[in-house]
Amino acid sequence: MAFWPSIVVATPAHSGVGTSLTYRSELSLAPGTLVRVPLGAREVLGVVWECPTEPPEGLTEAKTKPVAGVLDGLPPLNDRWRQLVQFAARYYQRSLGEVALAALPPQLRDLSHEQLARRLKRRAKAGAKTGAPAGEVADGHQLSDEQRQALDALATAQAPVLLFGATGSGKTEVYLQATQRALAAHADAQVLVMVPEINLTPQLEARFRERFEPLCGAGAVVCLHSGMTPAQRLSSWLAAHTGQARIVLGTRMAVLASLPGLRLIVVDEEHDPSYKSQEGARYSARDLAVYRGKVETEALAAHERCQVVLGSATPSLESWHAADQGRYLRLAMPARIGGGALPRLRLVDMNHQPKGAVLAPPLVAAMAERIGRGEQCLVLLNRRGYAPVLACHDCGWKSACPHCSAYRVFHKLDRTLRCHHCGFTERVPRACPDCGNLDIAPVGRGTEQVEEQLAGLLADVKRPDGGPARVARMDADSTRLKGSLEVQLATMHSGEVDVLVGTQMIAKGHDFRRITLVASINADSGLFASDYRAPERLFALLMQAAGRAGRDAAQSAASEMWVQTWYPQHPLFASLKQHDFPAFAVTQLAERLSAGMPPHGHQALLRADARTQQAAQAYLNAAAQAAVGLPHFEDVTLYPAVPLTIQRVANVERAQLLVEAASRGALQRFLSAWQPVLLASRSLPEARGLVRFAVDVDPLVI
């Protein structure tokens, strides 16, 4: 008897290969089995999707190839995992193979039979204990009333939970306790905890290890993120897939990990844009987490659930809206642990400051006072480098990138001009390349410059120990070397540093204990950006940044958030002043409703990269022309093709076309019908020069 397994292999959405390929096998292969199959001249990794005993219409033995081998010792990927992958592929308009194979550790493809067997044997020895005793202590403290109420509500919730907890309200403790309960309830239960960027939160990992390794064994907590080596990723993935790991802590990619015992999914800082992938299948890990919870729950006994917890002090408006509608259960924890106050907002009207001042004198004075008391300050700025542009005032030359429609940033420390889009780097020219003028000067300012200026402004300020004030900088440049981020965070926690200047990475999640002043010095760009999500992002950033101040209740009464702005009357600041996220959300959602914007309407982008802007747009417009008459064409609006804000990156021209629909279902069905048209349109004469296209469903930036 022969079997005709359909097997998915890594095929990009654009290759035109169908969703799966049919092979032959002497053995019946369970769906989800990992196999090696011939593809062209190579042998590739594949996942068995189905295994019928009859060949599909028109296929004969001569036309199919046999499966080359099975990855022994690995249990098949379960039905729920396959359902998740299938959903993600369909929803985000990618091929099944691309999504399925991208979810597997790359090393699985390359290991020989013997190597894999050895890895599995090593894992089996490291085996974790099962079960976890219940207990209710928060690092030796009693749970707050709010924490307890949230946990109780969580235990009986019949929907995904939106944990709306102020900064410092103790959300992490709720995650820990919920994890403990889930593990205690079932000997093989597993928990997935997702964070936006794992490197930024070494504390969180430490707390999970501290809490659960003594209870569940040394291998119980594993990480899964893109900063790991291929060997580490394989090891974590195997531990999760075989059930040895009880807790997987990871970034967005972890949402697609194989977790056969999954009983709880936590999405921390659920508003964070990094949950949305910006390449390949552009999935939202937060949305997939909710879907995954539903699929897992359907497979459990009637009274059991795989709970999903989305936590944030500034939830995404999508999640907030879902809670308004009752699709999610909103649990609020408004109070800070220990009864500490949230920082007071101080708006600095830049219209009334000395001309050209980067830092308003009252702000500098306030910082000096804090340093004198042994407290710390945080200064937030959205640009790294020294200055965003270097310019010649004689002839107007600017440090444009030759490969992008963007300026190269001046980095003073190593005297380079660096493009933050394509990476192109050169030494700063001695004179203007166009006119020879020696006097070329930086325009605008970045973190390096603010660090330098602050060090000057605070030069005479003394710490309580009599030493000089110390200013440090933390951004993508200062943390590039492995381990440097941890070192920098440690100097902040230990109190060695008095003022930390940095990009938004300093605003995220950190539990700094001695900060009493946070300042945002150029927030205005977020107030008037053309992107309709800019206010939401700015509000979240400022509120999260404020959340780093006054985390120690004893100092919280005097903690402050300073915002330098030319528009102090802007309504966004009124809600910020009250720490009133709900009020902000209500006004934003009303604006979105009147404009038909998400979450009240649904969007997708068709993006094209090409050698010329004209070709990119021509492809998009041709694809739009060819969409006329497709199913649900009447229910969607196709806008004309436009260049991206940064239209050229690394010599590739970029354009996009917005698709809008009132209903998600209509948008989905239209996109599915459009997909073959998009593939076919590539060979139109107008599209000559097209490099690639991609569909972005529920885009975050348009």
Among positions 93, 107, 172, 516, the unique one binding ligand ADP when judged by CB under 6 A? 172
Nearest distance, CB of residue 390 and Zn ion, angstroms: 11
Q: Which is nearer to Zn ion, 381 or 652 (CB)?
A: 652
Query: Is residue 143 a contact residue for ligand ADP (CB under 6 A)?
Result: yes
Q: Which is nearer to ligand ADP, 144 or 520 (CB)?
A: 144
Query: Is residue 139 a contact residue for ligand ADP (CB under 6 A)?
Result: yes
Beta pairing, strands 416-418 & 409-411:
antiparallel
Q: Which is nearer to Zn ion, 419 or 541 (CB)?
A: 419
Nearest distance, CB of residue 397 and Zn ion, angstroms: 4
Query: Of Zn ion, ligand ADP, none, which one does residue 243 interact with (CB within 5 to 8 Å by kind)?
Result: none
Environment class of 253 (CB within 10 Å of its CB; exposed 0-12, middle 13-18, buried 19+): middle
148 Cβ contact partners less than 8 Å away, ≥ 6 residues apart: none
Give the Cα separation of 457 and 471 in Å (integer). Answer: 11
Nearest distance, CB of residue 143 and ligand ADP, angstroms: 5
Task: Give, as ranges, the residues between 287 and 346 that touch ligand ADP (CB under 6 A).
Answer: 337
Nearest distance, CB of residue 140 and ligand ADP, angstroms: 8
C-alpha dihedral, 378 to 382 to 383 to 387, nearest 10°: -80
Query: Of Zn ion, ligand ADP, none, which one does residue 359 interact with (CB within 5 to 8 Å by kind)?
Result: none
Residues in the chain: 702
Interface stretch with Zn ion, choices 256-264, 415-423, 466-474, 612-620 (CB under 5 A): 415-423
Query: Is residue 98 a contact residue for ligand ADP (CB under 6 A)?
Result: no
Environment class of 171 (CB within 10 Å of its CB; exposed 0-12, middle 13-18, buried 19+): buried
Give the Cα separation of 242 and 227 in Å (integer). Answer: 22
Query: Is residue 404 a contact residue for Zn ion (CB under 5 A)?
Result: yes
C-alpha dihedral, 673 to 675 to 677 to 681, nearest 10°: 160
Nearest distance, CB of residue 167 and ligand ADP, angstroms: 5
Nearest distance, CB of residue 229 and ligand ADP, angstroms: 29
The token duo for 416 is 């380079």
Nearest distance, CB of residue 170 and ligand ADP, angstroms: 3
The binding track of 144-163 with respect to ligand ADP, each residue x by CB under 6 A or -, is: x--x----------------
Give the Cα separation of 91 and 276 in Å (integer). Answer: 14
The token duo for 625 is 């022309």
Query: Is residue 165 a contact residue for ligand ADP (CB under 6 A)?
Result: yes
Please tell me the count of residues contacting ligand ADP according to CB under 6 A.
Answer: 17
User: How many CB atoms are closer than 10 A to CB 330?
Assistant: 19
Q: Which is nearer to ligand ADP, 274 or 297 (CB)?
A: 274
**Is 325 within 8 Å of 317 (Cβ atoms)?**
no
Query: Is residue 180 a contact residue for ligand ADP (CB under 6 A)?
Result: no
The token duo for 185 is 């309830």
**Is 95 within 8 Å of 13 (Cβ atoms)?**
yes
Query: Of ligand ADP, Zn ion, none, which one does residue 143 interact with (CB within 5 to 8 Å by kind)?
Result: ligand ADP
**Is 425 within 8 Å of 410 (Cβ atoms)?**
no
Among positions 109, 344, 403, 664, the unique one binding Zn ion when judged by CB under 5 A? 403
Q: Which is nearer to ligand ADP, 170 or 442 (CB)?
A: 170
Interface stretch with ligand ADP, choices 170-178, 319-327, 387-395, 522-530 (CB under 6 A): 170-178
The kind and range of the H/E element at 623 are helix 613-625
Query: Is residue 141 a contact residue for ligand ADP (CB under 6 A)?
Result: yes
C-alpha dihedral, 686 to 692 to 696 to 701, nearest 10°: -90
Query: Of Zn ion, ligand ADP, none, which one does residue 144 interact with (CB within 5 to 8 Å by kind)?
Result: ligand ADP
Residue 331: strand pairing partners? 163
Give the Cα separation of 222 and 192 in Å (integer). Answer: 10
Query: Is residue 169 a contact residue for ligand ADP (CB under 6 A)?
Result: yes
Interface stretch with Zn ion, choices 58-66, 81-89, 200-208, 432-440 (CB under 5 A): 432-440
Query: Is residue 258 a contact residue for ligand ADP (CB under 6 A)?
Result: no
Q: Which is nearer to ligand ADP, 80 or 510 (CB)?
A: 510
Among positions 171, 211, 241, 537, the unique one binding ligand ADP when judged by CB under 6 A? 171
Query: Is residue 266 a contact residue for Zn ion (CB under 5 A)?
Result: no
Query: Is residue 598 a contact residue for ligand ADP (CB under 6 A)?
Result: no
Query: Is residue 173 a contact residue for ligand ADP (CB under 6 A)?
Result: yes
Query: Is residue 167 a contact residue for ligand ADP (CB under 6 A)?
Result: yes
Interface stretch with ligand ADP, choices 85-93, 97-105, 137-145, 243-251 (CB under 6 A): 137-145
Query: Is residue 422 a contact residue for Zn ion (CB under 5 A)?
Result: yes
**Is 270 within 8 Å of 312 (Cβ atoms)?**
yes
SS3 221: strand
Nearest distance, CB of residue 692 and Zn ion, angstroms: 18
Query: Is residue 391 a contact residue for Zn ion (CB under 5 A)?
Result: no
The token duo for 431 is 């004179």
Nearest distance, CB of residue 419 and Zn ion, angstroms: 3
Among positions 32, 46, 160, 168, the unique one binding ligand ADP when judged by CB under 6 A? 168
131 Cβ contact partners less than 8 Å away, ≥ 6 residues apart: 183, 184, 187, 216
State the DSSP code for 208. H
The binding track of 493-522 with respect to ligand ADP, each residue x by CB under 6 A or -, is: ------------------x-----------
Nearest distance, CB of residue 423 and Zn ion, angstroms: 7
C-alpha dihedral, 46 to 50 to 53 to 59, nearest 10°: -60
Nearest to 678 by CA among 692, 666, 661: 692
Nearest distance, CB of residue 394 and Zn ion, angstroms: 5
- Strand ranges inside 545-640, DSSP E: 560-565, 602-610, 636-638
Nearest to 400 by CA among 430, 385, 431, 421: 421
Q: Which is nearer to Zn ion, 63 or 398 (CB)?
A: 398
Nearest to 163 by CA among 41, 689, 171, 21: 171
569 Cβ contact partners less than 8 Å away, ≥ 6 residues apart: none
Query: Is residue 121 a contact residue for ligand ADP (CB under 6 A)?
Result: no
Give the Cα separation of 570 and 369 in Å (integer). Answer: 29
The kind and range of the H/E element at 176 are helix 171-185
- Strand ranges inside 581-671, DSSP E: 602-610, 636-638, 642-649, 652-661
Among positions 369, 434, 511, 635, the unique one binding Zn ion when judged by CB under 5 A? 434
Nearest distance, CB of residue 605 and Zn ion, angstroms: 22
Q: In the block, which residue shows the tokens 């259960």?
A: 329
Omega of the bond leading into 230 within 30 degrees of 0 (cis): no
Nearest distance, CB of residue 479 and ligand ADP, angstroms: 21
Query: Is residue 435 a contact residue for Zn ion (CB under 5 A)?
Result: yes
Query: Is residue 419 a contact residue for Zn ion (CB under 5 A)?
Result: yes
Residues lying near Zn ion in the complex (CB under 5 A):
392, 394-395, 397, 401, 403-404, 419, 421-422, 424, 432, 434-435, 437
Residues lying near ligand ADP in the complex (CB under 6 A):
138-139, 141-144, 147, 165, 167-173, 337, 511
